[in-house]
Structure 1
Amino acid sequence: MDFDVVIVGAGPAGLSAACRLMQQANDAERELTVCVVEKGSEVGAHILSGAILETRALDELFPDWAERGAPLTTPATRDEVHLLKDAEKTWKLPDALVPGSMHNVGQGRTHYVISAGNLCRWLGEQAEALGVEVFPGFAAQEVLHAEDGTVRGIITGDMGVGADGEPKDGHMPGMELRARYTLFAEGARGHLGKRLIERFDLAAGKDPQHYGIGLKELWDVPAEVHEPGLVLHGSGWPLPDDTQGGFFLYHAENQQVVVGLIVDLAYTNPYLSPFDEFQRLKHHPLLKRYLEGGSRVAYGARAIAKGGVNCLPKMTFPGGLLIGCDAGTLNFAKIKGLHTAMKSGLVAAETVFAALADGDEGGRELSAFTEAWQASWAHAELEESASFGPAIHKYGNLLGGAYNVLDQWLGGRLPRVHDTTPDYARLETADQAQPIDYPKPDGKLSFDKPSSVFLSNTNHEEDQPCHLKLADPELPIRDNLPKYAEPAQRYCPVGVYEVVEDDAGQPRFQINFQNCIHCKTCDIKDPAQNITWVAPEGGGGPNYPNM
């Protein structure tokens, strides 16, 4: 199938690009064919974010978003930032000590507590109404290259292939979706984006990308503790001193709160389990007061590209663009990425449409995008907070936070901080590390991985090839187990990886790929870089409601 533009991923960046492309085409009365391909079973099924939305990009895309029924109903009304000293005590930071980027109330702009998945569902509706073709349930499996290497579209994955690699009844081969230009908006650590960065050497001269894993739950809570618009952030306990990260708890509409923990994937202890850290976090009195007596209704996790402008690769290559978190446009100083991802999509759409309107047949490298992106307010935001993540890596939460407050007061004039060590290279060996004894879940505030996977509504056709590829199948037991106590057992938030005994009583590495929620943590954190995540059959994975 041939299109003018193919967009991979129906997230905020991809859908914003699709909408803006068709807005321009309709205004100019030009025919334009735009296709968005989405691996989730529906638009929004795989979308996971905190989320607090700064509406700046949405205001540009749809100034009348309120009249159109956008799912923004709960403005942020009160901010609190806490430092958890231990399992019982907390210190509420005075506003003067909170970086300005983390304020969600005031600032001359209204922020909203939202479901990012529902925002994308709404954006998908707007895109289709404008004439975009949206194909959910189809996974982009390969990049389509011309003989000269130019990107000319994508190839979707086959449907109905058995675990043995042979076609089953109802087999449907993948399709070539050809395009004059292709926009890759897969989210953090996109598997095609990763290949494009390598193939075109887009990260040359940049710091390696840095990531966190964000774990999130949606809770129904008692009316007497629910305060719509209350925004809580914090750091400290239960994470050890040498591990960066922080929690959030946002009061949404309908007597619901979202609670989560972001753990920096630069952590060093191979025994650390982000999932279990999150579960014990909820027992702290600060969070417990809102959750106790409530019920957990959804769970999910997703990697976050948090390196900022120091790690932002070149976003152009012949025939296409990387946008949103596929490139790494999140502003971690704000703990927000939706608005910057959307803005990258708007800039991409305007650049591509201008080229096509001039009679461009496609396949060129759109250098005009780089100029427009670097002139945008989104890029300026990233420049202002360039040292935010690296300073915390280098100096820790307290001193790094102080550095960032001072840097923001001085308008970004302090020397820029860099972090050139990849996250996977940070792990200590097991004999250097202290094992962590996590408490058993109580089934009221804390839970186990199987019950959490159930709440993510994750499903994969079991008789299909495993989408978690091992370059060396023997390496996990031969190398990672003795050296690092095989950390995949703990960094995976849904129990995909296990070390079990075979019939002879020997350890065996087991991959329960049916549990995979597509968070990409294994692709990032494996110390041997032995695991590669590729897209499974389209429609598989989580189905997040209201997340």
Structure 2
Amino acid sequence: MAERESMEYDVVIVGAGPAGLASAIRLKQLAAQRQSEISVCVLEKGAEVGAHILSGAVMDPRALTELIPDWKEKGAPLNVPVTEDKFLFLTDKGARQTPNWLLPECFQNHGNYVVRLGDVTRWLGEQAEALGVEIFPGFAAAEVLYTDSGAVKGVATGDMGVARDGSHTPNYQPGMELHARYTLFAEGSRGQLGRQLISRYKLDEGRDPQSYAIGIKEMWEVDPAQSQPGLVLHTSGWPLDSDTYGGSFLYHLADNLVVVGLVVGLDYANPWLSPFEEFQRYKTHPAIRSTFEGGKRIAYGARSLTAGGLLSLPKLVFPGGAMIGCEAGFLNASRIKGSHAAIKSGSLAAEAAFEALTAERSHDELTAFPQAFEKSWLHAELNKSRNFKQWFKKGRTIGTLMTGIEQWLFKGKMPWTIRHSKPDHACLQPASECARIEYPKPDGKLTFDRLSSVFISNTNHDENEPVHLTLKDASVPVAVNLAKYGGPEARYCPAGVYEFVKDDGGDDRLQINAQNCVHCKTCDIKDPTQNIVWVAPQGGEGPVYSGM
């Protein structure tokens, strides 16, 4: 086996999203203020910074303003201020708008911006590099490295040029080890390495199980007559039933661009449900379809969201590092916003790491990070909405009513806390106990199939590399998932990765089309037997989102 080379840094950051880049920027800012030198490296599995970023997104600029006060002068792509909020409750044919004076504060967006988060992330990358941060796109962190005492000492990137059978191709290159005094993990929702760290250090002990959702999104170029830059529309209700958590977003950008998406909680019970088809169906609603008629769909993507909130937040630190952003779960689901929380958490972790470095410490716990978080406005914000997802686990009616009471009447200062104990994958019921859902065929104009959608996500994987969607037990998909749950993999995946086919003998088998994977991680979360484990493919592969 070829020996891996190694590089030494003060801080290694895994993931060039808003959290990771905010950490890198803050570390370099502090070093400049103290006239000291700190080496900072950021690894990014996407082919370029922003390639794997997908979010709504309406952005609260508070954390960005704290990090880079002159972001406007520096050209940050926050160019479309929110001009109007609308919230609709949908039935199959009708829509009822909530009066704006009744909207709780968490649904009000005055002072926020409709953004393309991929563009914002690219801009953050430019700011980081200008400060001397080394960013390596196209390199996936595949392994956590530990000291002899069990502390994190860095990460190793994956080997390149490995064939599907495990042999080395002529392009083989062994992974690189990156050693650091502290390593910050910012992989986003359901991070591969973060999942391992939570298990190794028991970071979720005493916490509620993490709760996730899948967000499926398209970008459209619409008829100029339909364009209303700054309009922010959210809906609840149809097409989802009252027991399924979820809702839609529809945001108007400049240049006749509209982004639309559906978020579906991955604690849904009916294995026949398909989040992708529910989203396609949503666009046909009379209150929605007129926006897109005469328009053109130009981008597609999907991503899981870590939505459990404060009560599901794991312990943030462990010997040698910390978890930040959506890796840990700082998203505020009640506000449908996470980028401001990612930036703030990354900044707080950076401040704790900088103080430790200047004190000549290394590989210990950055206890100052969770302490600073607990005193921050971000903790106060998440504490206000701590019960949001828990109420919706009791159904839409109770969730809507109690969210209104807590946020509108109590202003988030309620004297009670609601807990839950059931992970998302354990919520599926046997297929025989659930009503089948028949979805209409796509028309190719307003509604589409998975494969044409994956095509415009610019997803690419080498077909000869090892499959990065791994099975703990190859017999389970047919023996358990298909037999008991009707093969839900074929429906919860938004990219057509999983399909059950017949082999030459007429027996069922699971076919994994790994080249279609958009890295949403839904399979890793929702598989009822937790038999599927998502691991990073070779660096640079996956979707290439254009400002999504």
Q: How many Å separate the matches in 2 of 1:290 and 1:352?
A: 47
Maintained 8 Å contact 1:407/1:414: no
Quote the residue 2:399 is aligned against: 400
Query: Residue 42 of structure 2: SS of its match in structure 1?
Result: strand
Partners in 1 of 2:120 and 2:220 — Cα distance? Answer: 19
Any residues of structure 2 matched to 1:89-168 within 5 Å, and which?
Answer: 89-105=94-110, 110-168=111-169
For 1:376-455, what aligned pairs fall within 5 Å after superposition?
Answer: 376-394=376-394, 396-408=395-407, 409-411=409-411, 412-455=413-456
Measure the CA separation in 2 of the matches of 1:150 and 1:414: 39
In 2: Cα distance, 1:501 partner to 1:96 partner? 57
**Cα distance in 2 between the residues matched to 1:159 and 1:510:** 24
C-alpha distance in 2 between matches for 1:332 and 1:141: 29
1:30 corresponds in structure 2 to: 36
Calculate the TM-score normalised by the size of structure 1. 0.98
What's 2:3 paired with? none
The equivalent of 2:17 in structure 1 is 11
Whole-angstrom CA distance in 2 between matches of 1:468 and 1:257: 32
- CA deviation map 1:388-419 (0-9, x unaligned): 1101112x222211111111221321421112
- Report the Cα offset of residue 358 of structure 1: 1.7
Q: What is the Cα deviation at residue 100 of structure 1?
A: 1.5
Equivalence for 1:526: 527
CA offset digits 1:357-394 (Å, max 9, x no partner)? 1222x101111111101111111111110001101112
Letter in 2 for 1:379: H
1:188 aligns with 2:194: no
| Residue type of the alignment partner of 1:401 | T
Identity %: 56
SS in 1 for 2:287: helix
In the alignment, what sits opposite 2:366? Answer: 366
CA displacement, residues 344-368 of structure 1 (integer Å, 9 cap, x when unaligned): 00001111011111222x1011111
- Residue 49 of structure 1 is matched in structure 2 by 55
- Post-superposition offset of 1:104: 0.7
SS in 2 for 1:285: coil
Distance in 2 between residues matched to 1:480 and 1:447, nearest whole Å: 26
Q: How far off its partner does 1:124 sit?
A: 0.3
Q: State the match for 2:499 in structure 1.
A: 498
User: SS where residue 144 of structure 2 aligns?
Assistant: strand
Residues in 2 aligned to 1:379 and 1:533: alpha-carbon distance in whole angstroms: 30
Alignment partner, residue 222 of structure 1: 223
Contact (CA 8 Å) 1:113, 1:250: kept in 2 or not? yes
Do 2:303 and 2:521's aligned partners in 1 also have CA atoms closer than 8 Å? yes
**Partner SS for 1:13:** helix
Q: Which stretch of structure 1 is more off in the superposition, 199-208 or 362-371?
A: 362-371
Where in structure 2 are the equivalents of 1:198-237 lying within 5 Å? 198-237=199-238
Match of 2:478 in 1: 477
Secondary structure of 2:301's counterpart equals strand
Regions of 4+ moved over 4 Å: none
Aligned amino acid, residue 245 of structure 1: G
Deviations 1:415-437 (A, max 9, x none): 21112111111111011011111
> Which stretch of structure 1 is more off in the superposition, 403-412 or 444-453?
403-412
Q: For residue 320 of structure 2, what is the amino acid of its counterpart?
A: G
Between stretches 382-391 and 409-418, larger displacement belongs to: 409-418
Aligned residue among 84, 90, 95 for 2:90: 84
Unaligned runs of 5+ in 2: 1-6
Cα-to-partner distance string for 1:503-527 (whole Å, 9 max, x where unaligned): 1111110000000000000000000
Instruction: Tell me the distance in 2 between the aligned counterparts of 1:391 and 1:414.
Output: 15
1:403 counterpart letter in structure 2: M
Displacement of 1:196 in angstroms is 0.2
3-state SS of 1:522 partner = helix
Letter in 2 for 1:207: D
Letter in 1 for 2:33: D
Q: Give the total of aligned pairs.
A: 540
Distance 1:503 1:359 in 2: 64
TM-score in terms of structure 2 length: 0.98
Q: Which runs of 5+ in 1 are unaligned?
A: none
**1:70 alignment partner in structure 2:** 76
Does the Cα contact within 8 Å between 1:229 and 1:252 map onto a contact in 2? yes
**Counterpart residue type for residue 406 of structure 2:** D
1:83, 1:92 within 8 Å by CA — same for their partners in 2?
yes
Kindly provide the CA deviation profile for residues 3-51 of structure 1, in whole angstroms up to 9, marking residues without a partner as x. Answer: 0000000000000000010011112111110000000000000000000
Find the residue that maps to 1:149 and give its secondary structure. coil
CA distance in 1, matches of 2:418, 2:287: 33
| Mapped pair 1:255 → 2:235 | no
Whether contact under 8 Å (2:242, 2:397) holds in the other structure is: no
